[in-house]
Amino acid sequence: MTQVAGTGSVPLARRAGGPDLARGLALLGIALANTIGWLHGSSWTVLLKQVDATVPDRIVDVLIGLTADNRGFPLFAMLFGYGIGIIYRRSREAGERTGHFVLRMLRRHIALLAIGLAHAILLFSGDILVAYAMVGMLCVLFATRHRAILPFAAILALPALGVWGWVDGTIGLSGSDGYASAAAPDYLSSLRLRTDEAGAEVATSLVSDMGLLTPMAIGAIAARLRLFEEVAANRDVLVPIARWGLGLGLLGAVPLVAVLVLDPAHQHLDAEIVLGSLGVLHQYTGLLGALGLAAAAALMSDHFRRPVGADGTAPTVPDAARGAGPVTARLVHGIEALGAVSLSAYMGQSLVFLTLFPPYTLDLGARLGTAGTAVIVVAVWLVMIPCAVALKRRGRRGPLEVVLRRLAGSASPRVVPDRTSHPSTLGGHP
């Protein structure tokens, strides 16, 4: 028995910049979209926004509805799937048997599930890690099968993704007014509520969160093509994906956001079929927007990493990146560093918000609206960037990334040499 070389984690200095840049941006998007999980005391309208928002709050609601709601989480899920795809690709290249790879990934996802449960119970009801751990393992299993399985699974899971959009469009008809744990009078009460919610999430995740499989599968397929890593070779594909994805993602968000502005109390538009359909449109175009942003991030990262003319041609990037100076370059590299520690940053955000928003702390969840909350979210995100840069300069991973690696086992698995050299032992792909 010998160890398989090349199945461990990629050194920080060799990580692809595009996916990390997209992860860093997704962190901000998810945090902005999750502001509704910390606010309480007001009824919800479409996209879980407060129905009685002030003008500044509604302006921020519109910006979040156009750019972050149903865009941040599919982007993060897509990048999660991209990571699964990279790990599996490196496993095959190293000659690891499929069965050993699946067991290694099972241990990794069980560790992530444990971290997610801790987050969901101790910190925040809107946790995504539990769902990522469970649906992600399903993505692992599909990735090791025939090449057609992942696209087929992505299509089959689309209706489940649409259900989330339907709920976002019709939530204002239900009279809901926020997460129960956000309004709990003390920490122990909130802990009990979150514990019950976390238990229900584990029991139902493979049904209620199945929509995540679509963006995860898309990410894993993109990893097969090295789409966000080999930017120069894929530029002719990435540029139209970025332009069309971002454009359609923005246009598709407009109808539901218009309801948010023009009729948040549903005094005129209260037809469930119409609101639900607008929610589904918002959700599905958010998936396109997430793919577009991932492509744009890959192009932008490559632009700031590779000197113009290094391959005889000027890098092609989205128009917004043209003419960017050193400050923009430093910001891009900083967001990449933050994306490399996204697990720690995601948990860190929740820890900070727990000290600010509940009734048993500063109760900002009742005192602030979306605008004030968004200022805090952006400020926390910006403060985390230099911290992430400092870790990267020292060659260190985030604290929870280290915990995950230790729980999952960072050592390479062992395989039998005479089997790994034969193509039939790799399995999964024809």
pLDDT in tens, 222-259: 999 999 999 999 999 999 999 999 999 999 999 999 99
d(CA 76, CA 128) in angstroms, rounded, equals: 10
Whether 318 has a pLDDT exceeding 90, the answer reads: no
Residue 427 confidence class, pLDDT cut points 50, 70, 90: very low
What percent of the chain is modeled with pLDDT above 90? 82
- pLDDT (mean) for 252-269: 96
Residue 423 lies in a domain: no
Q: Which of 252-256, 321-325, 358-362, 403-407 has the lowest mean pLDDT?
A: 321-325
pLDDT in tens, 185-226: 999 999 999 999 999 999 999 999 999 999 999 999 999 999
Whether 11 has a pLDDT exceeding 90, the answer reads: no
- DSSP 8-state symbol, 339: H
Is-contact 96 170, C-beta < 8 A? no
Q: Can you list the pairs that 368-372 forms with residues at least 24 positions away whose Cβ atoms lie under 8 Å? A: 368/39, 369/39, 369/50, 369/53, 369/54, 369/56, 369/57, 369/60, 370/35, 370/39, 370/49, 370/50, 370/53, 370/57, 370/58, 370/60, 370/61, 370/64, 371/54, 371/56, 371/57, 371/59, 371/60, 372/57
Q: Residue 106's pLDDT is what? A: 96
Q: Residue 15's pLDDT is what? A: 82
d(CA 101, CA 402) in angstroms, rounded, equals: 20
pLDDT in tens, 272-312: 999 999 999 999 999 999 999 999 999 999 998 765 444 44
Residue 25 lies in a domain: yes
Q: Residue 305's pLDDT is what? A: 77
Residue 235 lies in a domain: yes
Tally Cβ neighbours within 10 Å of residue 302. Answer: 24
pLDDT in tens, 58-115: 999 999 999 999 999 999 999 999 999 999 999 999 999 999 999 999 999 999 999 9
Whether 14 has a pLDDT exceeding 90, the answer reads: no
Whether 2 has a pLDDT exceeding 90, the answer reads: no
Q: Residue 133's pLDDT is what? A: 97
Whether 353 has a pLDDT exceeding 70, the answer reads: yes
Q: Of 80, 33, 38, nearest to 342 (Cα)?
A: 80
Residue 175 confidence class, pLDDT cut points 50, 70, 90: confident
Residue 216 lies in a domain: yes
| Per-residue tokens: 45 | 């309208």
Q: Residue 6's pLDDT is what? A: 53
pTM, full prediction: 0.88
Residue 372 lies in a domain: yes
pLDDT in tens, 38-51: 998 889 999 999 99
Average pLDDT of every residue of the chain: 89
| Per-residue tokens: 169 | 């469009």
- pLDDT (mean) for 310-338: 68
Residue 8 confidence class, pLDDT cut points 50, 70, 90: low
Q: Of 242, 340, 342, nearest to 291 (Cα)?
A: 242
| Per-residue tokens: 236 | 């002719």
d(CA 272, CA 232) in angstroms, rounded, equals: 46
Tell me the backbone φ, ψ of residue 369, rounded to 5 degrees.
-105, -160
Q: Residue 423's pLDDT is what? A: 34
Residue 425 lies in a domain: no
What percent of the chain is modeled with pLDDT above 70? 87
Q: Residue 284's pLDDT is what? A: 98
Whether 415 has a pLDDT exceeding 70, the answer reads: no
Whether 123 has a pLDDT exceeding 90, the answer reads: yes
Q: Of 423, 428, 430, nearest to 95 (Cα)?
A: 423
The domain in which residue 81 lies consists of: 15-308+321-409
Residue 9 lies in a domain: no
Residue 316 lies in a domain: no
**Counted domains in the chain:** 1
